[in-house]
Amino acid sequence: MKLSRTARAALLGTMIFGFTFIYLPLALVVINSFNTNKSFAWPPTGFTTIWWSKAAANDGIRDAVMRSVITALIATSIALILGSLAAAAISRYEFFGRDAISLLFVLPIALPGIVTGIALNNVFTNFFGKLTFFTIVIGHATFCIVVVFNNVAARYRRLGMNLQEASMDLGASRFTTFRLVTFPLIRSALVAGGLLAFGLSFDEIIVTTFTAGAGQTTLPIWIFQNLFRPNQAPIVNVVAAALILISILPIYLSQRLTADK
């Protein structure tokens, strides 16, 4: 389809406008992390790396980053195992209540985080006695499972049963079939789902607020607590800038892996 010159110019303008809104604030965060002025006055008054070294030396940040990383790793692992098993069961076997179970699996991601948070908080405080680090992990796993499940179930649907049948027809046992055929073909869906789950868990704040035990500060909670303290603001900015840079990698990877060859 050929577009007229005016239409193309209009579309280009809209695109630039949209991208500006998305990426200019992000660029500002990165620039301000090197700004000598504590209150982010524009234009920057000078260049400094002092906030970056201060952030690196801050125990609170390091502690929070570690906790967030470990939480996301465990929640993602749980999600990968349970989510892919559920996807395999639902896409490859016929059984009573299959559609209902499929819906129940996906529902948690549609629930507002605050509802999940309150519900889990009730259960944890009433039946487990108190909130701990692991209550955060369980909270995160509830929505991480969904994204892995969705990714893997979609892949299974697309694959169908033919390739597994062909493999067994050629003499491969069920396990060999999984190892040589099924797993290589769902691997990229697992990686994409896993990266997405990791990302969701890493910056989750609502469910975390309701499920974190005393002193269990994750990175988003730490940022939220420190953002409005005048002395900490530049350091928070550094953390944000660092996260932007670090996030680019997994997004790039998951895009490449899910792209059809």
Partner 1 sequence: MALIEIRGLSKSFGEVKAVAGVDLDINAGEFITLLGPSGSGKTTVLRMIAGFEDPDAGTIKLNGEDITHLPPYDRDVNTVFQDYALFPHMDVITNIEYGLRVKKVNKEERRKKALEALEQVRLSGYEKRKPSQLSGGQRQRVALARALVNRPSVLLLDEPLGALDLKLRQQMQIELKELQREVGITFIFVTHDQEEALTMSDRIAVFDKGKIQQLDRPAAIYEKPVNEFVAGFVGVSNLITGNAAQTLLGKSGTFTVRPEKIQIDKAQGAAGTVKEVEYLGPSTRFIVDLDAGARLVVLRQNTDESAVDVMSMRGKKVNLSWAKESEYRVN
The per-residue DSSP string of 113-143 comes to HHHHHHHHHHHIIIIISS--HHHHHHHHHHH
162 touches partner 1 (CB under 8 A) = yes
The least distance separating partner 1 from the CB of residue 167, rounded to whole angstroms, comes to 7
Quickly count: other Cβ atoms within 10 Å of residue 138's Cβ. 18
Nearer to partner 1, 151 or 188 (CB): 188
165 touches partner 1 (CB under 8 A) = yes
Per-residue mark of binding to partner 1, 205-224 (x: CB under 8 A): --------------------
Binders of partner 1 in range 168-207 (CB under 8 A): 168-173, 176, 180-181, 184-185
Nearer to partner 1, 18 or 184 (CB): 184
Tokens 């997004």 map to which residue?
251
| Beta carbons of 213 and 135 less than 8 angstroms apart | yes
The least distance separating partner 1 from the CB of residue 156, rounded to whole angstroms, comes to 14
The least distance separating partner 1 from the CB of residue 80, rounded to whole angstroms, comes to 20
Quickly count: other Cβ atoms within 10 Å of residue 259's Cβ. 9
b/e for 102-132, b at 16 or more Cβ within 10 A? beebeebbeeebeebbeebbeebeeeeeebb
Nearer to partner 1, 180 or 249 (CB): 180
152 touches partner 1 (CB under 8 A) = no
Nearest to 117 by CA among 214, 207, 204, 203: 207
> How many angstroms separate the CA atoms of 206 and 35, rounded?
31
Quickly count: other Cβ atoms within 10 Å of residue 236's Cβ. 22
255 touches partner 1 (CB under 8 A) = no
Quickly count: other Cβ atoms within 10 Å of residue 204's Cβ. 25
257 touches partner 1 (CB under 8 A) = no
The least distance separating partner 1 from the CB of residue 151, rounded to whole angstroms, comes to 17
163 touches partner 1 (CB under 8 A) = yes
Q: What is the CA radius of gyration of the chain?
A: 23
Nearer to partner 1, 59 or 94 (CB): 94
158 touches partner 1 (CB under 8 A) = no
Nearer to partner 1, 111 or 170 (CB): 170
Site stretch for partner 1 (CB under 8 A), options 22-30, 48-56, 122-130, 166-174: 166-174
| Beta carbons of 225 and 136 less than 8 angstroms apart | no
| Beta carbons of 152 and 209 less than 8 angstroms apart | no
Interface with partner 1 by CB under 8 A: which residues? 162-163, 165-173, 176, 180-181, 184-185, 261
